A and B are shown apart, each in its own frame.
Chain A
């Protein structure tokens, strides 16, 4: 009798317990190129980013992986249908991936009020065709970095606020100190070469001159119209006519070279440098300001960044949706901002007083006049054609109109196909 009772009790015990433990645990996989493990090495990635979520959701585990060479790995995995539940995506690729059915719409997990709280240019990158396809990871605006020590040496007190001033100040700062015929210090540095960073910075010059790359309705290329041609001519002049920009390009990995080496007095860059470049302040007293518009008093900035998206082929959409919700939470926005700069939601940014703390305030002001690169499923061709045009016009000695005509031809070809 005793044995029977203990058997029954044992079975009841196990049943109760298994209903607690037997609940299914779903693992949500996340891939990013971002080095969370390094950025959050003090407390550890898990402690900082994922534990708060897992505590709220005991049935969901998060498995995050950092991917070293994103371009290749992502495309191979995607082509073979082997993507994680959530992955990072460069904002410029959202239209291309969304139209090709790679991304899951996220509207059902992110209410409209939350969406509207994101900075407008960042939100533009996160949406396509009226639907939300990504939630922000980090976003960046343009900044003009300048070396106050070199400015002082040349007797200049204020950074440029127009293209005219950019040239005149740049010329004063381009100097051959020892008279050996070689320029020892250049006035300005802009990215040159063949990569997306070049496109990000230089396309803003076209906008600064009130030109554009494709028409607002996305049906035709306008990059060879007069305002755009003028802008590219200006870029070419900076290098070839006024000679205030050195020809050696910056590499994608980081623009540390010339500006941090103090061989260049001004440099176009992004808010993503504000954190990493703090350590250089001792040797290079830099400050930031707005990127000048063509005409004094006008301003425009490029905006770009990476965001989290959900794979349309995910087998754990509900669980992944919960993670997406978490990624829009004030806690995550703040934590990511502590590493990457601008807080993606305006309310959080205000809370963190970013708009009143230098140098973030400059970045925030730039966000307010910021715009993303052209939104179109054929962006890969658009950026390739534009990079080619910049390269040919600035370094290749080809007249800007001709280079941009060629780009317009290529762009129109793919715009027609859609």
Chain B
């Protein structure tokens, strides 16, 4: 019996690895092509049949691309915007989600639908009036329009966290209230610890969203010194020609921090949360 079980486990394991590896290759192909292009001399980028292994391998493309787009300078801007919006989003969105999930109040359903509906109007028609709002506040050509709104909650994350908070049994809340705990204490000591994977997801998504945000900085920033990496990347897209090898090299480098953040956030994705310790 035991032997059969372990054989079965081994087979399933091998099966998993095969399936996963097969899918991985499919997912990786565009990237491999990106890296391959990043290492080519410009005249070999478009050669046919497609050259997978560049010949010659031009490692130089990477430092050159980073120098041309002034990477370290614009990195600073991206870091400022990303870290502040992450702070703002995590703080505000979780509090608002807690409000929608754990409290009963009049108009709750209506307000929640209102929250969702703000995501249903295409930004193309709200951007001009919004831009005028920011102009009158004199926030244009600063980071303010990019950072300050994140401190007021983002509908996407509020909705996400609300769904997660609703998976937490109500008894926990009620027990804590009977014990005299304040709502904020419950939030801090019960809700948050049980929602680590959800919070980690929000952190990952917000980081990635802010790190790659193109449209916001495009519209609100008028001076090149203020450009984050996402705009600086366009140095390689001229009006009539594109420096593909540099564009791909720079894109690869810009992607790396997001991967690192994702990798590190994985330790919050611990499998199987037990609730036994929560009674009393």
Contact = CB atoms under 8 A, between A and B. Distances in A.
B218 A69 contact: yes
Given A66-B224, A84-B222, A254-B240, A38 B68 contact: yes
Contacts of A67: 218
B239 interface: yes
A140 B239 CA distance: 12
B168 to A, nearest CB: 42
A164 to B, nearest CB: 30
A79 interface: yes
A263 interface: yes
Interface in B215-262: 215, 218-219, 222-224, 231, 234-244
Contacts of B224: 37, 65-66
B48 A262 contact: yes
A76 B43 contact: no
A33 B48 CA distance: 31
A34 B224 CA distance: 13
B48 A76 contact: no
Given A38-B68, A38-B235, A276 B241 contact: yes
Contacts of A276: 240-241
B95 interface: no
Interface stretch (B24-32, B125-133, B169-177, B184-192): B125-133
A282 B243 CA distance: 18
B55 interface: no
A38 B236 contact: yes
B266 interface: no
B164 interface: no
B219 A261 contact: no
**In terms of DSSP, what is the predominant structure of the interface of chain B?**
helix
**In terms of DSSP, what is the predominant structure of the interface of chain A?**
mixed
Interface residues of A, number: 42
Contacts of B197: none
Nearest to B222: A65
A76 B222 CA distance: 12
A185 to B, nearest CB: 10
Kindly name the residue among B215, B219, B241 whose own CB sees the greatest number of chain A CB atoms within 10 A. B241
A38 B47 contact: no
Interface in B35-83: 42-48, 68
A38 B242 CA distance: 11
A276 B246 CA distance: 14
Nearest to A269: B240
6 contacts: A35-B236, A73-B219, A76-B127, A253-B242, A261-B48, A262-B47
Given A76-B131, A76-B219, A77-B131, 12 more contacts: A33-B239, A38-B243, A66-B234, A72-B219, A80-B132, A253-B237, A254-B242, A256-B45, A270-B240, A276-B240, A276-B241, A283-B43
